[in-house]
Structure 1
Amino acid sequence: MKKRFIICLNENTSTEQDKLFINYINENKVAWWHWLATTWLITDTNGKLTASEIRSKLKEIFPNNYNMVFEFRDDKDTWAGFGKNNGDENMFEWIKNNWED
């Protein structure tokens, strides 16, 4: 099952970090687009990757950089993120209340 991902980071990344992430996505044999500094688009025609797996890899490569990974499939969309999620500083609340079904 084909999956599509939108990946958003909140800070610019280094060339070295980008190379590590490119190696990861190339190892998984997916197509990717990265023309905006903090945004990646990925298409996984094998349906192997998940939003949670990508989020974990992002935390490893970009450890202090908040991220959001949106996963789009034919049957279900999902997302995973890393960042502030408490009280008045909850970057996920709007998504939970307005984006999810």
Structure 2
Amino acid sequence: MAKRFVLATQTLPESIEVGFITELRKKKFGWWHRLPGVWLVIDRTDTLTAQDLRDLLKKLSPSTLCLSMEIPKGNANWSGLKIDDDMFSWLKSDWNENQPAVPAQPSKEGEDLPVA
């Protein structure tokens, strides 16, 4: 099983975003960040807490405003408006509880897309 989280932040400087992505990758967390200030994170080890995720960001930027929430077990009901066909592909393939998480990587445009 995996734990799922939503992290909402104020707009982060690019250097902080890059550092946060580096930390997520080091810990082998799956993540999605296609909307400014919104991060969806999956922990396959099932050990992360909402406080741990907050503290990971706090370590990089102590004054950043954020809200970290764990999503309860089970399939998450979600809906969104997309700007392209890939925008929600990670959510469809990895966000539901019964799917394995795939770490994402920045694309050339700086958006986070699933690793192929």
TM-score range, shorter chain: 0.5 to 0.7
CA offset digits 1:52-86 (Å, max 9, x no partner): 111112112122221110012429xxxxxxxxxxx
Q: How far did residue 3 of structure 1 move?
A: 0.3
Question: Which segments of structure 1 move beyond 2 Å, counting only runs of 4 or more?
Answer: 72-75
For 1:1-101, list aligned pairs within 5 A: 1-9=1-9, 11-74=10-73
Q: How far did residue 7 of structure 1 move?
A: 0.2
TM-score (norm 2): 0.58
SS at match of 2:48: coil
Q: How far did residue 48 of structure 1 move?
A: 2.4
TM-score (norm 1): 0.66
Structure 2: state its 5+ residue gaps. Answer: 75-116
Distance 1:2 1:38 in 2: 23
- The residue type equivalent to 2:19 in the other structure is L
CA offset digits 1:11-47 (Å, max 9, x no partner): 2111110111001111111110001110100111221
Alpha carbons of structure 1 residues 59 and 27: separation in structure 2 relative to 1, 3 Å: same
More strand by share: 1
Across the two proteins, how many residue pairs are aligned to each other?
74
